[in-house]
Amino acid sequence: MQAQMLAPAAVLVLWSLFMLLWVAGTRLPAMRRMGGLGAAKPGGRGQDLETVLPPEINWKSHNYTHLMEQPTLFYAVSAIIAIVGAGRIDVRLAWGYVVVRIVHSMWQATINRVPVRFLLFLLSTMLLMALAVRAAVATLSAS
């Protein structure tokens, strides 16, 4: 079940890269309309665009940042469970986490109403917590 446990993590990596392309695909044209990258101040960072670009453009970047935060714990937990031996429930929890994170991404990048976004985040966090507990139990009970 190692490969089955690692597959959701691989899909979330691909999704994160898709979001990065979506960020570039929306930000670069918006920046071009403002004079292009050549008009950017020296040493500028993505955060500098928060007050310059429309919120709908920045939402994709916000989500990409989120995908670099909590999911890092998911990758670690997925690897731990894959190493100690994944069961069907672990794989289902992992896929559940990935599906909810993708739905969260789509919601945040397009509609971005906070109450729904928060519920999606809460659900993904609960799935991650369940996986983390299962990883801890599996490793602490290993003899």
* Angle (nearest 5°) at CA 56 between 51 and 59: 85
Residue 37 lies in domain: 2-140
CA atoms lying within 13 Å on the CB side of residue 79: 5
What's the CA gap between 7 and 79, in Å, rounded? 11
Return the higher-pLDDT residue of 56 and 142. 56
Burial class (CB in 10 A: 0-12, 13-18, 19+), 68: exposed
Q: State the DSSP code for 41.
A: P
CATH of residue 71's domain is 1.20.120.550
What's the CA gap between 137 and 23, in Å, rounded? 38
Contact 1, 87 (CB under 8 A): yes
Report how many domains make up the chain: 1
Q: Which two tokens stand for residue 105?
A: 């991404």
| pLDDT tens sequence across 49-78 | 888 899 999 999 999 999 999 999 999 999
Residue 104 has a pLDDT of 98
Residue 37 has a pLDDT of 73
What's the CA gap between 12 and 33, in Å, rounded? 32
The amino acid occupying position 26 is T
How much is the average pLDDT of 24-32?
93
| pLDDT tens sequence across 95-136 | 999 999 999 999 999 999 999 999 999 999 999 999 999 999
The whole model's pTM is what? 0.94
Contact 15, 53 (CB under 8 A): no
What's the CA gap between 135 and 97, in Å, rounded? 15
